[in-house]
Amino acid sequence: MVLKKITISIVKNFKIKSYGKINLTLNVINKLNNSYHSISSLITFCDLHDLINISAIKSPNDKIVFSGRFKKGINNKSNTVAKLLSLLREKGLLKKQSFRINIKKNIPHGSGLGGGSSNAANLLNFLNNKMKLNLNNSEKLKIARQIGFDVPINLKRKNTILTGKKDEILRMNKGFKLHILIVYPNFICSTKKIYKNNKKIGARKIKYFLKKLNKKNLISALKKERNDLQSTVIKIYPKIAKVINFIKSQNGCHLSRITGSGSACIGIFSNIHNAIYAQKSIRSKYPKFWSVVSRTI
C-alpha cells in the first residue's frame, strides 16, 4: 500500500450523515468458541441519523465531542470513532494528522440501532475517500471488523443479509420503502447479559429474502420471522413487552418487535399517517419515552 502525505487543508468542516440500522429479523444460530454468537439477520437502514462534523486541526491530539440528546453515557476517549482513528494511525495512514470531530447523537445510545458502529463506518468511508487512503473493500472490512461486529454492516447503506456463515454479508439492490415507528424506552439493554441468558439457538434459513419480493410478500415473510433475542429481553426487561404489544395494537401496524438486542422497539406500518398517529398514542401513554417516525432508505 502506498501512503500519501496528508495536508491539513484536505479536511475542513465536512458534515457526514451517519444512519441507523434496523434488524428486521434476527436468528441466533450457535455459540462460538470465543463466547460470541453467529447470527443470521435481515437488516435495513432508516433515515434517522447522527450528524458528524469533522475538521483537520493543528494539535497533537484529536478532539472528539459528543452532543445532542443522546450524548450521555458515551466516553469521549473510548468509543468507536477514537478506536478507528487509532487503528488508522497504527497502520501509518493518518500519520500525525489530528481532527476535531463533533458527533450530534440523534440515534439513542445502546438501543440496538447501531449508532456507534455507523459513526465509525461512515467516518472510515469519508477518510478513505477524502484523504485518499487507498483502502480497497477488503482492507476496509478488515479494519471495520477490528472495531466492532456491526461496523462492516454499516459500510454500505443497502439492505443486508447476514447469512450466519463466518463474515458473510450479502447486499440487496432492492429497497423496501417501509414506514417505521421507533420507540426507545430510555434505558439500555445489556447485550452481553441478553446473549448469555438466551436459550433460542438453531439455524434458520432466510435465503428467500434474496428473491425479488414486493412489499406485500416482504411483510408476509417478516411476520413469519422473529428476533430470537426478544423473549430473553422481555424476561430481563418486562416493560419491553408492554411497548411491543402497544405498538402492535395500533391501526395499520403490520408487526412489532425489538431491533438487535434492544432496547428500541419498532413497528412497521402500512402508511406514514398510521405511523404518525401511533406515535401520538405512544407519547400519550408513555410520555417519558422517546419516539420517531422514520422511513427506510
Q: Between the CA atoms of 120, 47, 286 and 42, what dihedral angle is there, to the nearest 10 degrees?
A: -70
Asked whether residue 34 is domain-assigned, the answer is: yes
pLDDT score at 76: 86
> Both 196 and 150 in a single domain?
no
Residues belonging to the active site:
21, 150
Residue 237 C-beta-side C-alpha neighbours within 13 Å: 22
- Mark which of 171, 190, 223 sits at the end of a domain: 171
Q: Same domain, yes or no, for 45 and 158?
A: yes
Domain enclosing residue 115, as ranges: 13-171
End-of-domain residue from the set 143, 171, 199: 171
Chosen domain end from 171, 206, 227: 171
Q: Are residues 136 and 195 both part of a single domain? A: no
Q: Which amino acid is at 80?
A: T
Residues present in the chain in total: 297
Residues (pLDDT < 50) of the chain are 1-9
Could you tell me if 278 and 263 lie in one domain? yes
> Grid coordinates standing for 142?
478488515
Backbone dihedral angles phi then psi of residue 117, each to the nearest 5 degrees: -65, -40
107 in any annotated domain = yes
Helix (H) or strand (E) holding 244: helix 239-248
pLDDT at residue 83, as a whole number = 97
The pLDDT assigned to 32 comes to: 74
What is the model's pLDDT at position 7? 42
Residue 2 lies in a domain: no
Give a yes or no: residue 121 inside a domain.
yes
One-character DSSP codes across 61-77: S-EEEEESTT-TT--SS
Domain shared by 188 and 56, yes or no = no
pTM of the model: 0.93
Please tell me whether residues 100 and 118 are part of one structural domain: yes
Domain CATH code at residue 64: 3.30.230.10
Q: Is residue 110 part of a domain?
A: yes
Tell me the CATH number at 201: 3.30.70.890
Tell whether 106 and 180 lie within a shared domain: no
Q: What is the DSSP string of 129-186?
A: HHTT----HHHHHHHHHHH-TTTGGGGS-SEEEE-SSTT-EEEES-----EEEEEE-S
Could you tell me if residue 7 is inside a domain? Answer: no
Residue 1 lies in a domain: no
**Of the candidates 74, 150, 86, which has an alpha carbon nearest to the alpha carbon of residue 117?**
150
According to the model, what pLDDT value does residue 295 have? 97
The predicted pLDDT at position 203 comes to: 66
Residue 143 sits in the same domain as residue 215: no
Whether residue 259 sits in one domain with residue 128: no
Residue 263 lies inside a defined structural domain of this protein: yes
pLDDT of residue 205: 61
Total structural domains in the chain? 2
